[in-house]
């Protein structure tokens, strides 16, 4: 009985510390319920409090973007070094995933060439370009390049690539 009471108070105080219901996601089945992070290709990041899904079918960037949206997420927003490193490590740790390049949710096609916008509508501040890339007048969508330690290249959007969705 005492254990039950302690457990209840523990969960309650943790939720208050988090300042919102989001803290509850860290407990057991709540993760699955809120973020639906179950599935062979989905990885939960407790630091980001989000789920990423590695999509191993290849699609042009616009199709990849719409596929993530249909699934309730968006193409991944790698807007910090910490988040970039989480993505990179996730790919590198899988023999199946680390074989090729991936679209991320960054493009300069919708607004203007040279102004890169994330799939959540924010303008990019953190970037991780391969030296000299990100300046093309004909390549508007951004891929992570396996052979360059997953640094970024602007690439023609029609190219069929694997991609990564995120769910928050």
Number of residues that bind Ca ion (CB under 5 A): 5
Core vs surface per residue 81-108: b (16+ CB within 10 A) or e: eebbebbbebbeeeeebeeebbbbbbbb
- Evaluate whether 159 touches 140 at the Cβ level (below 8 Å): no
User: Rounded to whole angstroms, how far apart are CA atoms 80 and 62?
Assistant: 23
From the CB of 40, what's the least distance to Ca ion, in Å? 32
How many helices and strands (H and E) does the chain possess?
4, 8
154 binds Ca ion (CB under 5 A): yes
Q: Which stretch binds Ca ion (CB under 5 A): 14-22, 46-54, 96-104, 150-158?
A: 150-158
**Minimum CB–partner distance for residue 115 and Ca ion (Å):** 16
Question: Angle at the Cα of 110 (from 68 to 165), degrees rounded to 5?
Answer: 15
Nearest residue to Ca ion, using CB? 154
Q: Which stretch binds Ca ion (CB under 5 A): 25-33, 59-67, 114-122, 126-134?
A: 126-134
Q: Is 133 in the site for Ca ion (CB under 5 A)?
A: yes
Nearest CB to Ca ion, comparing residues 65 and 154:
154
Min CB(58)–Ca ion separation in Å = 18
Which of 36/113 has CB closer to Ca ion?
Answer: 113
Distance in angstroms (rounded) separating the CA atoms of residues 52 and 137: 30
What is the distance between the alpha carbons of residues 67 and 99, in angstroms, rounded to a whole number? Answer: 22
79, 139, 143, 166: which one contacts Ca ion (CB under 5 A)? 139
User: Binding of Ca ion at residue 136 (CB under 5 A)?
Assistant: yes
Q: Which residues bind Ca ion (CB under 5 A)?
A: 133, 136, 139, 153-154
């Amino acid at each position: 009985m005492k254990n039950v009471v302690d457990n209840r108070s523990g969960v309650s105080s943790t939720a208050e510390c988090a300042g919102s219901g989001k803290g509850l996601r860290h407990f057991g089945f709540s993760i699955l319920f809120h973020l639906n992070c179950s599935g062979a290709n989905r990885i939960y990041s407790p630091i980001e409090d989000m789920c990423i899904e590695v999509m191993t079918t290849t699609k042009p960037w616009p199709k990849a973007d719409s596929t993530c949206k249909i699934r309730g997420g968006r193409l991944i927003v790698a807007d910090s070094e910490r988040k970039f490193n989480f993505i990179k490590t996730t790919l590198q740790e899988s023999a199946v995933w680390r074989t090729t390049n991936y679209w991320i949710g960054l493009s300069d096609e919708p607004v203007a060439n040279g102004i890169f916008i994330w799939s959540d509508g924010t303008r990019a501040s953190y970037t991780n370009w391969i030296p000299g890339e990100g300046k093309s007048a004909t390549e508007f969508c951004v891929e992570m390049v396996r052979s360059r330690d997953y640094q970024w290249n602007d690439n023609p959007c029609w190219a069929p690539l694997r991609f990564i969705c995120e769910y928050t």
